[in-house]
């Protein structure tokens, strides 16, 4: 085969791959675009769209039940992330620094609450909660969210610890620092960006969670569960509006998370102790 013909074949394959990629992205994100467009429609139906309005966004702020569910979601998300940071940070250092039999099995078991189907986790947690005679409440919802946010935080920090290595901590302790000083002045600044990124990712996952929340909630509903209840009585344009807000909020959190994770964020600044 001549060189021009081979170049033409490579060019055609490149065009084909690009077209295929565009079709895949179109298939994935076209429904989100439809939701965005319909959220500004002045009519309550998805046909015959004409004009532009912010009416449905204004209606959201008049719906007290929806606002209450939104604040419930924020409370659960912040609480779950706070607990997940403490447990995930401790677990990450334990798994990264301690050798024990069955370590690989333990890592897999820790990750199970995140990778298992939400319906399976929701039913399992509900069975345990009912067996312990714990009433469904904000505490049970928080417990469910902690179960899958801890692995998110833990494995994000573990990946940073693995790339960081133990040399910095060893050098600090050789110079006379105790374990608390080593963690505060050396280790924490070096994993700070990973910790922030993990917290943002965990909050995003918690904010959008519906399956586990549905099984563990009582009358104290989170926003995704409340939206699901709204959809059971028909697709209100307010559903499109709140879905658009959640979409952009999730995108903002993901962009912030990408800033604080990965090798590009690994700028190690060791904190100097005060004299």
Encode pLDDT of 209-237 as tens digits. 888 898 988 788 888 888 888 777 767 77
Within a domain: 9: no
Q: Contact at 8 Å (CB) between 73 and 224?
A: yes
CA distances from 211 to 18, 98, 125, 250 (A): 36, 35, 12, 18
139 occurs within a structural domain = yes
Q: With respect to residue 258, please indicate whether it lies within any of the assigned structural domains.
A: yes
Residue with token string 């890592």? 107
Look up the CATH number of the domain holding residue 149. Answer: 1.10.3720.10
Mean pLDDT of 132-158: 90
CA atoms within a 13 Å half-sphere pointing along the CA-CB vector of 118:
15
Q: Is residue 86 part of a domain?
A: yes
pLDDT tens for each residue of 153-194: 988 888 888 777 667 777 777 777 777 777 887 888 888 888
SS3 content of the chain, % helix, strand, coil (to 5): 75, 0, 25
pLDDT digits (tens, 9 = 90+) for 3-42: 565 565 665 666 777 788 888 888 888 888 888 888 887 7
Q: For the chain, what's the residue count?
A: 275
Q: Residue 3, SS3?
A: helix
Q: Which residues contact 187 (CB under 8 A, 6 or more apart)?
A: 168, 169
Report the number of distinct structural domains present in the chain: 1
Report in angstroms the alpha-carbon separations of 263 from 164, 195, 255, 275: 11, 14, 15, 32
Kindly state whether residue 273 falls inside one of the protein's structural domains: no
The domain of 188 spans: 56-265
């Amino acid at each position: 085969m001549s060189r021009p013909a081979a170049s033409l074949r490579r060019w055609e394959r490149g065009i084909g791959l690009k077209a295929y990629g565009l079709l895949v992205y179109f298939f994935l994100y076209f429904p989100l675009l439809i939701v965005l467009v319909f959220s500004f429609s002045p009519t309550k139906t998805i046909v015959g769209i004409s004009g532009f309005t912010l009416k449905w966004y204004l209606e959201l702020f008049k719906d007290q039940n929806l606002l209450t569910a939104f604040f419930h979601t924020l409370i659960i998300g912040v609480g779950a992330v706070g607990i997940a940071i403490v447990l995930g940070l401790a677990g990450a250092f334990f798994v990264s620094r301690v050798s024990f039999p069955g370590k690989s099995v333990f890592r897999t078991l820790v990750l199970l609450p995140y990778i298992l189907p939400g319906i399976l986790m929701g039913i399992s947690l509900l069975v345990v909660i009912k067996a312990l005679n714990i009433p469904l409440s904000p505490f049970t919802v928080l417990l469910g969210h902690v179960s899958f946010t801890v692995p998110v935080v833990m494995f994000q920090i573990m990946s940073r610890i693995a790339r960081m290595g133990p040399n910095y901590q060893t050098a600090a302790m050789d110079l006379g620092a105790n374990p608390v000083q080593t963690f505060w002045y050396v280790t924490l600044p070096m994993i700070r960006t990973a910790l922030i990124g993990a917290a943002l990712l965990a909050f995003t996952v918690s904010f959008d969670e519906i399956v586990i929340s549905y099984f563990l909630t009582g009358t104290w509903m989170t926003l995704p569960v409340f939206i699901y209840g709204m959809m059971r009585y028909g697709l209100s344009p307010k559903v499109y509006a709140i879905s658009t807000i959640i979409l952009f909020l999730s995108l903002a959190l993901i962009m912030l998370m990408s800033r604080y994770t990965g090798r590009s964020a690994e700028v190690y600044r060791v904190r100097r102790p005060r004299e």
